[in-house]
A and B are shown apart, each in its own frame.
Chain A
Amino acid sequence: MEQLLQQVLAGLATGAIYATMALAVVMIYQAIDHLNFAQGEMAMFSTFLAWQMMQWGVPYWGAFAAAVALSFVGGVAIERVLFRPIHNAPILSQLVAFIALFSIFNSSAGEIWDFTIKTFPTPFGTKPFLGSSLISTHQAGMIGVTLAMLGLLYLFFRGSRLGLAMRAAAANPQSARLVGIRVGWMIALGWGMSAAIGAVAGMLIAPVVFLEPNMMLGVLLYGFAGAVLGGLSSPGGAVLGGFAVGVIENLAGTFIPYVGREMKLTLALVVIVAVLMVRPAGLFGRVVVSRV
């Protein structure tokens, strides 16, 4: 029983990692209506930028802010330069462009910063949180930041004109254009925001998993799974999905006898797919009704 509690807590702590990433995934999904497979690598690259600035003597928050800003600009630039020209291409071709981007960021980071792991500082400290050695103050801080980002996004999308314009552009580009929304720039803005959120996620995740070019590989997979499980159209659902994946994975690995440990990832995915069979749009997603 005690181990159950411990594994759930540890799952929540790891789940926080997935949840931050899932949030970034949903953000881009809202903006461009499909997933960005290079998102994890972009976040990794942003984190390396922050790390490099700190190596040069920039204080933590300075590097943090600069990395977020650079990522925003970089995200917008990638959309304008690379994806705007092919936005009419078939979706699968765009997917391959993401794969290309993935390869470019991963390979460049390895060449520039090498593959040995690097420590990335945390602004929250690593002491046990509220006396529990299972969640550190950093992990608690990470959960806090994720929830705060979620709240801000909620306000942004519900309350601000810009947020509403972005949603309109994603949901119905034609009509949005008719009411004077510059759809192209809304998409670019979505890219920028998701890159910025990704940068925050990367900088929160790096202190836990250590910084190295492949650090986001697994995280992105679980983040996707979390976002899909929760529902891609629901930022809150995605965050919950991220936490759920962390817990499911730990419980499957620990308590399913015999096969559990060796096939943890597989089992977690099977659980998620099973859930999707029952709720094909995710736990909290909107069901899109199709018409002829």
Chain B
Amino acid sequence: MSAPEPNALALERPAAVPAAPPVALAGQRWHGARNLTIGAVVLAALAAPLLVQNFVVFQLTLVMVYGLAILGLNLLTGFNGQFSLGHSAFYGIGAYTAAILMNQDVGYFWTLPCAGAVCFVVGFLFGFPALRLQGIYLALATFALATAMPQILKFQPLEPLTGGVQGIALLKPDPPPGVPLNPDQWLYYFTLAVLLLMLAGAASLVRSRTGRAIMAIRDDPIAAAAMGINTALYKTLTFGVSALYTGIAGALGAIVIQFVGPDSFPFLLSVSFLVGLVVGGVGSIPGSLVGGVFVLFIPNLAERVSTGLSGAIYGVILLVVIFVMPAGAAGFARLIAARLPFARKSVAIAATGRE
């Protein structure tokens, strides 16, 4: 093997992006461009449900739900460097919280904060054993959580609450009176509003003092501790916040799908989130949404190529994506943007939503 050559694709981590202060002019221009892009995306998102059929509106809603779930995982893995194969469990807890509450005639709106709170607590508590474990060991512990979840949901004594193996069916919420939308469109806008709120929350969290502490722990836990950061507190808190995000996504998913069952939240769902995270870009907030698109649409694409071999086609697509964009869509965007003349370094910052 030859000596390690500088490989443009080999951003080992978004963290490796040089934190040099952007040239003032370029930075301003870039910020303008970024705001323009965000504005255009939001506008397109607002217009979309009025232009496509209901079924596609439903699919787009699911994309946002999965994107939000992946964002939760991203906060943990991308920004704090903790690995999780257990996020299907948080998603499931969120979904069941919403379903059980809706069964008690709680309004669907109120189930979201409840699901978020429950998941925050569970995630926060799970963060404590996770403190002692790293890498593969943490993977195994979170994997245990993911496999345990369907078993707990099926567990006989909990059946009055969970519906056991039969699950819980839900009614689709109607739009508030006077709103001229059909239920699919209404749910879409509802989800979009929640998503934008959560995105804004994540972006400001990441930019805050807390966010910098969280990332410092990822980049070098020992140095972070030496600088006086309470690593245990921040790590467990991040676990809680991450679970909160994914839990709220789960609640939204339950409302949109109108059904929860133990088989809706298998370990494979965690794998899907992980795939979405990597494809979108580890440590990139907008990348999470790209991950949501991938998770929902690529299996459909694979199936179109060959029904019998859909799994194999999916695998091949995945390999191609990793080959073309080893650092995910966000990394790819950084690479493209870095070639643009005006915004060499600040681009990377914008693409990861961090400064």
Query: Which positions in A face B, CB cutoff 8 Å?
Result: 34-35, 82, 85-86, 88-90, 92-97, 99-104, 106-108, 110-111, 177, 182-185, 221, 224-225, 228, 232, 259, 262-263, 265-266, 269-270, 272-273, 276-277, 280-282, 290-292
Contacts and interface: CB of A to CB of B under 8 A. Distances in A.
Interface in B151-185: 151-152, 154-156
B136 A263 contact: no
B132 A96 contact: no
A264 B7 CA distance: 47
B311 A106 contact: yes
Contacts of A292: 220, 222-223, 226
26 contacts: A35-B136, A85-B323, A86-B322, A86-B326, A90-B11, A90-B327, A93-B328, A96-B278, A96-B279, A99-B271, A103-B311, A104-B316, A107-B311, A108-B309, A111-B309, A221-B147, A225-B140, A259-B155, A263-B152, A269-B148, A272-B144, A273-B144, A277-B129, A277-B132, A280-B132, A282-B137
Given A92-B77, A107-B309, A225-B140, A262 B1 contact: no
Q: Which of A96, A97, A269 has the most CB of B within 10 A?
A: A96
Given A86-B326, A92-B282, 17 more contacts: A88-B10, A88-B326, A90-B327, A94-B322, A96-B274, A101-B319, A104-B311, A107-B309, A107-B311, A107-B313, A177-B3, A184-B1, A221-B143, A263-B151, A265-B151, A269-B143, A292-B222
Contacts of B11: 90
A259 B155 CA distance: 8
B278 A280 contact: no
Nearest to A213: B311
A270 B126 CA distance: 12
Interface in B267-320: 271, 274-275, 277-279, 282, 308-316, 318-319
B136 A34 contact: yes
B12 interface: yes
B220 A100 contact: no
A92 B134 contact: no
Contact of A266 (B12, B144, B278, B319): B144
Contacts of A88: 7, 9-10, 12, 326
A292 B156 CA distance: 50
Contacts of B312: 103-104, 107-108, 111
Nearest to A273: B141
Given A108-B312, A269-B147, A93 B278 contact: yes
B323 A86 contact: yes
A89 B10 contact: yes
A272 B13 CA distance: 31
A266 B147 contact: yes
B132 A276 contact: yes
Given A107-B311, A280-B132, A90 B13 contact: yes
Contacts of B203: none
- Consensus secondary structure, chain B interface: helix
8 nearest A-B pairs in the assembled complex, by CB-CB distance: A107-B311, A89-B326, A269-B144, A103-B315, A88-B10, A104-B315, A184-B1, A100-B318
Contact of A93 (B129, B151, B311, B327): B327
B321 to A, nearest CB: 8
A266 B148 contact: yes
B316 A224 contact: no
B326 to A, nearest CB: 3
Contact of B316 (A100, A110, A221, A290): A100
Contacts of B7: 88
A182 B148 contact: no
A90 B134 CA distance: 17
Nearest to B325: A93
A153 to B, nearest CB: 20
Contact of B315 (A94, A102, A232, A270): A102
Given A266-B147, A292-B223, A93 B314 contact: no
Nearest to B276: A96
Contacts of B152: 263, 266
Nearest to A268: B144
A108 B310 CA distance: 9
A103 B314 contact: yes
B100 interface: no
Contacts of B192: none
